[in-house]
Protein backbone atom coordinates (compact mmCIF):
# COMPACT_ATOMS: atom_id res chain seq x y z
CA UNK A 1 0.00 0.00 0.00
CA UNK A 2 1.04 3.62 -0.44
CA UNK A 3 3.07 5.28 2.31
CA UNK A 4 0.97 7.15 4.84
CA UNK A 5 -2.19 5.13 4.23
CA UNK A 6 -3.73 3.74 7.41
CA UNK A 7 -3.71 0.00 6.84
CA UNK A 8 -5.91 -1.30 9.66
CA UNK A 9 -9.05 -0.65 7.60
CA UNK A 10 -7.60 -1.86 4.30
CA UNK A 11 -8.95 -5.28 3.25
CA UNK A 12 -6.58 -8.20 2.89
CA UNK A 13 -6.41 -9.74 -0.57
CA UNK A 14 -5.80 -13.41 -1.26
CA UNK A 15 -4.61 -14.55 -4.71
CA UNK A 16 -8.20 -15.48 -5.54
CA UNK A 17 -9.75 -12.20 -4.38
CA UNK A 18 -6.92 -10.22 -6.02
CA UNK A 19 -7.55 -11.96 -9.35
CA UNK A 20 -11.28 -11.28 -9.04
CA UNK A 21 -10.64 -7.64 -8.19
CA UNK A 22 -8.66 -7.31 -11.42
CA UNK A 23 -11.24 -9.07 -13.58
CA UNK A 24 -14.65 -8.32 -12.02
CA UNK A 25 -14.77 -6.06 -8.94
CA UNK A 26 -18.45 -6.88 -8.36
CA UNK A 27 -17.52 -10.50 -7.68
CA UNK A 28 -15.32 -9.65 -4.70
CA UNK A 29 -17.02 -10.41 -1.38
CA UNK A 30 -16.01 -11.39 2.12
CA UNK A 31 -12.80 -9.37 2.41
CA UNK A 32 -11.46 -9.04 5.94
CA UNK A 33 -9.69 -6.14 7.62
CA UNK A 34 -7.68 -5.93 10.82
CA UNK A 35 -5.08 -8.56 11.77
CA UNK A 36 -3.77 -11.14 9.28
CA UNK A 37 -6.37 -13.75 8.28
CA UNK A 38 -5.98 -17.18 9.81
CA UNK A 39 -4.97 -20.22 7.84
CA UNK A 40 -8.07 -21.90 6.37
CA UNK A 41 -9.42 -24.92 8.19
CA UNK A 42 -8.58 -28.28 6.56
CA UNK A 43 -11.09 -29.22 3.90
CA UNK A 44 -13.55 -31.99 4.68
CA UNK A 45 -15.12 -32.01 1.22
CA UNK A 46 -16.02 -35.21 -0.57
CA UNK A 47 -15.86 -34.11 -4.21
CA UNK A 48 -13.24 -35.77 -6.38
CA UNK A 49 -11.16 -32.59 -6.40
CA UNK A 50 -11.27 -32.19 -2.61
CA UNK A 51 -10.27 -35.83 -2.10
CA UNK A 52 -7.40 -35.46 -4.60
CA UNK A 53 -6.04 -32.35 -2.89
CA UNK A 54 -6.14 -34.04 0.51
CA UNK A 55 -4.43 -37.14 -0.91
CA UNK A 56 -1.66 -35.04 -2.44
CA UNK A 57 -1.13 -33.30 0.89
CA UNK A 58 -0.82 -36.63 2.71
CA UNK A 59 1.55 -37.93 0.03
CA UNK A 60 3.78 -34.89 0.46
CA UNK A 61 3.74 -34.86 4.26
CA UNK A 62 4.56 -38.58 4.34
CA UNK A 63 7.66 -37.87 2.19
CA UNK A 64 6.47 -40.41 -0.37
CA UNK A 65 7.35 -37.91 -3.11
CA UNK A 66 11.07 -38.37 -2.42
CA UNK A 67 11.18 -41.89 -3.81
CA UNK A 68 10.15 -42.89 -7.30
CA UNK A 69 9.04 -46.32 -6.14
CA UNK A 70 6.45 -44.69 -3.86
CA UNK A 71 4.67 -42.72 -6.55
CA UNK A 72 1.91 -45.32 -6.48
CA UNK A 73 1.25 -44.45 -2.85
CA UNK A 74 -0.65 -41.36 -4.04
CA UNK A 75 -3.61 -43.52 -5.05
CA UNK A 76 -3.43 -45.29 -1.68
CA UNK A 77 -3.71 -41.93 0.04
CA UNK A 78 -6.68 -41.08 -2.20
CA UNK A 79 -8.50 -44.19 -1.00
CA UNK A 80 -7.51 -43.52 2.61
CA UNK A 81 -8.96 -40.01 2.47
CA UNK A 82 -12.18 -41.29 0.89
CA UNK A 83 -12.50 -43.93 3.60
CA UNK A 84 -11.85 -41.40 6.36
CA UNK A 85 -14.57 -39.17 4.93
CA UNK A 86 -16.92 -42.11 4.60
CA UNK A 87 -17.42 -42.03 0.85
CA UNK A 88 -16.77 -44.68 -1.80
CA UNK A 89 -14.56 -43.60 -4.69
CA UNK A 90 -16.90 -45.29 -7.16
CA UNK A 91 -19.85 -43.30 -5.77
CA UNK A 92 -18.13 -39.91 -6.11
CA UNK A 93 -18.77 -38.13 -9.40
CA UNK A 94 -15.55 -38.46 -11.47
CA UNK A 95 -14.05 -40.46 -8.61
CA UNK A 96 -12.70 -43.26 -10.79
CA UNK A 97 -11.45 -40.81 -13.40
CA UNK A 98 -9.60 -38.80 -10.76
CA UNK A 99 -8.15 -42.00 -9.31
CA UNK A 100 -6.78 -42.92 -12.74
CA UNK A 101 -5.33 -39.43 -13.22
CA UNK A 102 -3.59 -39.56 -9.86
CA UNK A 103 -2.05 -42.89 -10.80
CA UNK A 104 -0.98 -41.51 -14.18
CA UNK A 105 0.44 -38.19 -12.92
CA UNK A 106 2.11 -39.23 -9.65
CA UNK A 107 5.41 -40.09 -11.33
CA UNK A 108 5.75 -36.78 -13.19
CA UNK A 109 4.79 -34.76 -10.10
CA UNK A 110 7.37 -36.65 -8.06
CA UNK A 111 10.02 -36.02 -10.72
CA UNK A 112 9.23 -32.29 -10.71
CA UNK A 113 9.54 -32.08 -6.93
CA UNK A 114 12.75 -34.12 -6.87
CA UNK A 115 14.40 -31.54 -9.14
CA UNK A 116 14.98 -29.58 -5.93
CA UNK A 117 17.49 -32.23 -4.82
CA UNK A 118 17.92 -34.65 -1.95
CA UNK A 119 18.18 -31.89 0.66
CA UNK A 120 14.83 -30.36 -0.30
CA UNK A 121 12.01 -29.82 2.14
CA UNK A 122 8.41 -29.89 0.98
CA UNK A 123 5.53 -28.04 2.62
CA UNK A 124 1.85 -28.39 1.82
CA UNK A 125 -0.87 -25.81 2.52
CA UNK A 126 1.59 -23.04 3.45
CA UNK A 127 -0.04 -19.76 4.54
CA UNK A 128 2.00 -16.57 4.05
CA UNK A 129 1.19 -12.93 4.86
CA UNK A 130 2.67 -9.70 3.49
CA UNK A 131 1.46 -7.11 6.02
CA UNK A 132 2.88 -4.17 4.08
CA UNK A 133 0.93 -4.99 0.93
CA UNK A 134 -2.00 -6.55 2.80
CA UNK A 135 -1.70 -9.70 0.71
CA UNK A 136 -1.97 -13.26 1.93
CA UNK A 137 -2.46 -16.74 0.55
CA UNK A 138 -2.18 -20.46 1.15
CA UNK A 139 0.14 -22.26 -1.26
CA UNK A 140 -0.57 -25.86 -2.25
CA UNK A 141 3.08 -26.94 -2.48
CA UNK A 142 6.36 -25.20 -1.67
CA UNK A 143 9.63 -27.08 -2.14
CA UNK A 144 12.81 -25.42 -0.88
CA UNK A 145 16.48 -26.40 -1.22
CA UNK A 146 19.90 -24.99 -2.04
CA UNK A 147 18.90 -25.26 -5.69
CA UNK A 148 15.97 -22.90 -5.35
CA UNK A 149 12.28 -22.70 -4.54
CA UNK A 150 9.53 -24.56 -6.42
CA UNK A 151 6.02 -23.11 -6.13
CA UNK A 152 3.37 -25.54 -7.38
CA UNK A 153 -0.37 -24.87 -7.51
CA UNK A 154 -2.34 -28.11 -7.77
CA UNK A 155 -5.32 -28.20 -10.15
CA UNK A 156 -7.79 -31.03 -10.58
CA UNK A 157 -10.45 -29.33 -12.71
CA UNK A 158 -10.87 -27.90 -16.19
CA UNK A 159 -9.63 -24.43 -15.24
CA UNK A 160 -5.99 -25.45 -15.85
CA UNK A 161 -6.64 -27.96 -18.63
CA UNK A 162 -6.55 -25.40 -21.45
CA UNK A 163 -3.47 -25.05 -23.63
CA UNK A 164 -3.06 -21.50 -22.31
CA UNK A 165 -3.73 -20.82 -18.65
CA UNK A 166 -6.48 -18.24 -18.07
CA UNK A 167 -5.58 -14.77 -16.85
CA UNK A 168 -7.16 -15.48 -13.46
CA UNK A 169 -4.69 -18.28 -12.75
CA UNK A 170 -1.73 -16.24 -14.01
CA UNK A 171 -2.68 -13.40 -11.65
CA UNK A 172 -2.97 -15.83 -8.76
CA UNK A 173 0.47 -17.26 -9.47
CA UNK A 174 1.95 -13.76 -9.56
CA UNK A 175 0.56 -13.06 -6.08
CA UNK A 176 1.83 -16.40 -4.76
CA UNK A 177 5.26 -15.66 -6.22
CA UNK A 178 5.30 -12.22 -4.59
CA UNK A 179 4.37 -13.71 -1.22
CA UNK A 180 7.20 -16.25 -1.36
CA UNK A 181 9.74 -13.57 -2.28
CA UNK A 182 8.46 -11.08 0.31
CA UNK A 183 8.08 -13.50 3.23
CA UNK A 184 10.74 -16.14 2.58
CA UNK A 185 13.24 -13.75 1.01
CA UNK A 186 13.81 -15.88 -2.10
CA UNK A 187 12.17 -15.51 -5.48
CA UNK A 188 10.78 -18.84 -6.74
CA UNK A 189 12.93 -20.77 -9.21
CA UNK A 190 9.94 -22.60 -10.69
CA UNK A 191 6.37 -21.30 -10.68
CA UNK A 192 3.41 -23.04 -12.24
CA UNK A 193 0.48 -25.38 -11.91
CA UNK A 194 0.31 -29.13 -11.85
CA UNK A 195 -2.89 -30.25 -13.53
CA UNK A 196 -4.14 -33.78 -13.04
CA UNK A 197 -5.46 -33.55 -16.60
CA UNK A 198 -2.43 -32.02 -18.34
CA UNK A 199 0.57 -32.33 -16.00
CA UNK A 200 3.02 -29.55 -15.18
CA UNK A 201 2.76 -26.09 -16.72
CA UNK A 202 5.48 -23.61 -15.85
CA UNK A 203 4.74 -19.91 -16.23
CA UNK A 204 7.09 -16.91 -16.25
CA UNK A 205 6.14 -14.56 -13.43
CA UNK A 206 7.88 -11.68 -11.73
CA UNK A 207 7.93 -11.95 -7.92
CA UNK A 208 7.90 -8.15 -7.60
CA UNK A 209 5.62 -7.01 -10.41
CA UNK A 210 5.25 -3.39 -9.32
CA UNK A 211 2.78 -2.72 -12.12
CA UNK A 212 0.48 -5.49 -10.90
CA UNK A 213 0.86 -4.50 -7.25
CA UNK A 214 0.16 -0.86 -8.05
CA UNK A 215 -2.92 -1.79 -10.07
CA UNK A 216 -4.17 -3.89 -7.16
CA UNK A 217 -3.81 -0.91 -4.84
CA UNK A 218 -5.86 1.22 -7.24
CA UNK A 219 -8.58 -1.39 -7.71
CA UNK A 220 -8.78 -2.04 -3.98
CA UNK A 221 -9.17 1.69 -3.26
CA UNK A 222 -11.96 1.90 -5.85
CA UNK A 223 -13.66 -1.17 -4.36
CA UNK A 224 -13.51 0.42 -0.90
CA UNK A 225 -15.21 3.48 -2.43
CA UNK A 226 -17.99 1.16 -3.71
CA UNK A 227 -16.87 1.41 -7.33
CA UNK A 228 -17.53 -2.26 -8.14
CA UNK A 229 -18.60 -2.84 -11.76
CA UNK A 230 -19.69 -6.28 -12.95
CA UNK A 231 -17.55 -7.48 -15.87
CA UNK A 232 -18.89 -10.93 -16.85
CA UNK A 233 -16.55 -13.45 -18.49
CA UNK A 234 -16.83 -17.27 -18.56
CA UNK A 235 -13.64 -18.02 -16.64
CA UNK A 236 -14.43 -15.37 -14.04
CA UNK A 237 -18.10 -16.22 -13.52
CA UNK A 238 -17.94 -20.01 -13.38
CA UNK A 239 -17.26 -20.36 -9.65
CA UNK A 240 -18.27 -16.88 -8.53
CA UNK A 241 -20.24 -16.92 -5.27
CA UNK A 242 -22.40 -14.03 -6.52
CA UNK A 243 -23.30 -15.82 -9.72
CA UNK A 244 -26.85 -16.93 -8.80
CA UNK A 245 -28.08 -13.37 -8.29
CA UNK A 246 -25.87 -11.50 -10.76
CA UNK A 247 -28.19 -10.29 -13.54
CA UNK A 248 -25.34 -8.88 -15.71
CA UNK A 249 -23.84 -12.37 -15.79
CA UNK A 250 -27.05 -14.10 -16.87
CA UNK A 251 -27.65 -11.52 -19.59
CA UNK A 252 -24.10 -12.00 -20.90
CA UNK A 253 -24.30 -15.80 -20.68
CA UNK A 254 -26.99 -15.91 -23.39
CA UNK A 255 -24.37 -14.90 -25.96
CA UNK A 256 -21.59 -17.23 -24.80
CA UNK A 257 -20.89 -20.16 -27.08
CA UNK A 258 -19.66 -22.31 -24.21
CA UNK A 259 -22.40 -21.37 -21.77
CA UNK A 260 -22.62 -23.62 -18.71
CA UNK A 261 -25.96 -22.57 -17.28
CA UNK A 262 -29.68 -22.23 -17.94
CA UNK A 263 -32.41 -20.25 -16.22
CA UNK A 264 -36.18 -20.24 -16.33
CA UNK A 265 -39.22 -21.69 -14.60
CA UNK A 266 -38.70 -25.17 -13.18
CA UNK A 267 -41.60 -27.20 -14.58
CA UNK A 268 -40.69 -30.68 -13.40
CA UNK A 269 -38.21 -32.58 -11.23
CA UNK A 270 -38.00 -36.34 -11.76
CA UNK A 271 -35.86 -38.40 -9.37
CA UNK A 272 -34.65 -41.83 -10.50
CA UNK A 273 -34.00 -44.90 -8.37
CA UNK A 274 -30.30 -44.03 -8.18
CA UNK A 275 -31.16 -40.75 -6.45
CA UNK A 276 -30.25 -38.52 -9.39
CA UNK A 277 -32.79 -35.94 -10.54
CA UNK A 278 -33.67 -34.61 -13.99
CA UNK A 279 -34.96 -31.05 -14.17
CA UNK A 280 -37.15 -29.53 -16.89
CA UNK A 281 -36.60 -25.78 -17.19
CA UNK A 282 -38.73 -23.52 -19.41
CA UNK A 283 -37.80 -20.02 -20.59
CA UNK A 284 -38.57 -17.64 -23.44
CA UNK A 285 -36.32 -19.50 -25.90
CA UNK A 286 -37.60 -23.00 -25.19
CA UNK A 287 -37.16 -25.78 -22.68
CA UNK A 288 -34.17 -27.71 -21.37
CA UNK A 289 -33.63 -30.96 -19.51
CA UNK A 290 -30.80 -31.04 -16.97
CA UNK A 291 -30.03 -34.63 -16.00
CA UNK A 292 -27.93 -36.24 -13.26
CA UNK A 293 -28.46 -33.54 -10.62
CA UNK A 294 -27.47 -34.62 -7.13
CA UNK A 295 -29.06 -33.48 -3.90
CA UNK A 296 -32.50 -33.00 -2.40
CA UNK A 297 -35.24 -30.41 -2.28
CA UNK A 298 -35.77 -30.10 -6.04
CA UNK A 299 -39.53 -30.71 -5.78
CA UNK A 300 -39.83 -27.65 -3.54
CA UNK A 301 -38.45 -25.51 -6.37
CA UNK A 302 -41.01 -26.59 -8.99
CA UNK A 303 -42.87 -23.50 -10.20
CA UNK A 304 -40.04 -21.18 -9.16
CA UNK A 305 -37.65 -19.24 -11.40
CA UNK A 306 -34.33 -21.05 -11.08
CA UNK A 307 -30.79 -20.71 -12.34
CA UNK A 308 -28.78 -23.91 -12.88
CA UNK A 309 -25.00 -23.52 -13.06
CA UNK A 310 -21.89 -25.45 -14.05
CA UNK A 311 -23.62 -27.93 -16.34
CA UNK A 312 -22.56 -29.38 -19.70
CA UNK A 313 -24.60 -29.20 -22.90
CA UNK A 314 -25.21 -32.63 -24.43
CA UNK A 315 -26.89 -31.40 -27.63
CA UNK A 316 -25.48 -28.48 -29.67
CA UNK A 317 -27.59 -25.33 -29.54
CA UNK A 318 -30.19 -25.10 -32.29
CA UNK A 319 -29.74 -28.64 -33.64
CA UNK A 320 -33.06 -29.97 -32.43
CA UNK A 321 -36.59 -28.70 -31.98
CA UNK A 322 -36.87 -30.84 -28.85
CA UNK A 323 -35.84 -29.69 -25.39
CA UNK A 324 -32.12 -29.00 -25.08
CA UNK A 325 -30.22 -31.66 -23.18
CA UNK A 326 -27.79 -30.77 -20.39
CA UNK A 327 -25.92 -32.89 -17.86
CA UNK A 328 -24.86 -31.99 -14.34
CA UNK A 329 -21.25 -32.14 -13.16
CA UNK A 330 -19.79 -32.70 -9.71
CA UNK A 331 -19.87 -28.93 -9.14
CA UNK A 332 -23.36 -28.17 -10.48
CA UNK A 333 -25.71 -26.02 -8.42
CA UNK A 334 -29.23 -24.61 -8.57
CA UNK A 335 -30.66 -21.44 -7.06
CA UNK A 336 -34.15 -20.00 -6.86
CA UNK A 337 -34.25 -16.29 -7.70
CA UNK A 338 -36.83 -13.54 -7.96
CA UNK A 339 -39.39 -15.11 -5.64
228: pLDDT strictly greater than 50? yes
Classify burial at 161, counting beta carbons within 10 Å of its beta carbon; exposed 0-12, middle 13-18, buried 19 or more: middle
pLDDT at res. 158: 64
Examine the domain organization and report whether 12 and 128 are in the same domain: yes
CATH number of the domain encompassing residue 269 = 2.40.50.140
CA distance 55 to 46: 12
Q: Do residues 195 and 318 share a domain?
A: no
Mean pLDDT of 222-250: 94
Q: Is 156 in the same domain as 180? A: yes
- The answer on 158 and 23 residing in a single domain is yes
pLDDT digits (tens, 9 = 90+) for 137-187: 999 999 999 999 999 999 876 665 566 677 888 889 999 999 999 999 999
pLDDT tens digits for range 284-337: 989 999 999 999 999 999 999 999 999 999 876 555 557 899 999 888 999 999
- Report yes or no on 226 lying in a domain: yes
- Predicted confidence band at 85 (pLDDT cuts at 50, 70, 90)? very high
Q: How far is CA 106 from the centre of its chain?
A: 21
Please state the domain count of the chain: 3
Domain membership of residue 136 as a residue range: 1-35+116-232
For 249-277, what is each residue's pLDDT tens digit?
A: 999 999 998 899 999 999 999 999 889 99
Name which of 179, 212, 224, 214 is nearest 9 in CA terms.
Answer: 224
Contact criterion met (CB below 8 Å) for 12 and 134: yes
pLDDT digit string, tens, across residues 89-126: 999 988 999 999 999 999 999 999 999 999 999 999 99
Q: What is the pTM of this model?
A: 0.82
- By CB atoms closer than 10 A (0-12, 13-18, 19+), residue 95 is buried
Position 142 in a domain: yes
**Cα 124 from Cα 246, distance rounded (Å):** 35
Helix or strand (DSSP H, E) at 83: helix 73-84
Amino acid sequence: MKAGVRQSGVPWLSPTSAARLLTCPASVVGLVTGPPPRSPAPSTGTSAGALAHAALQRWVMADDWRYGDRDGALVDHFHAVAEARKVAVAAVMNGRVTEARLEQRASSLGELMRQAGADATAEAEVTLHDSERRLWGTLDLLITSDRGVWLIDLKSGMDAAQSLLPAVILSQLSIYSHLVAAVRGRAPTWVGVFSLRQGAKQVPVSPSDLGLLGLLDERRSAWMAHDRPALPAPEVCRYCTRRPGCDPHWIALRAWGGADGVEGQLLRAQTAENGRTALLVQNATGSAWVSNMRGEGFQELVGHHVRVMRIRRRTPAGQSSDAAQWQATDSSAIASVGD
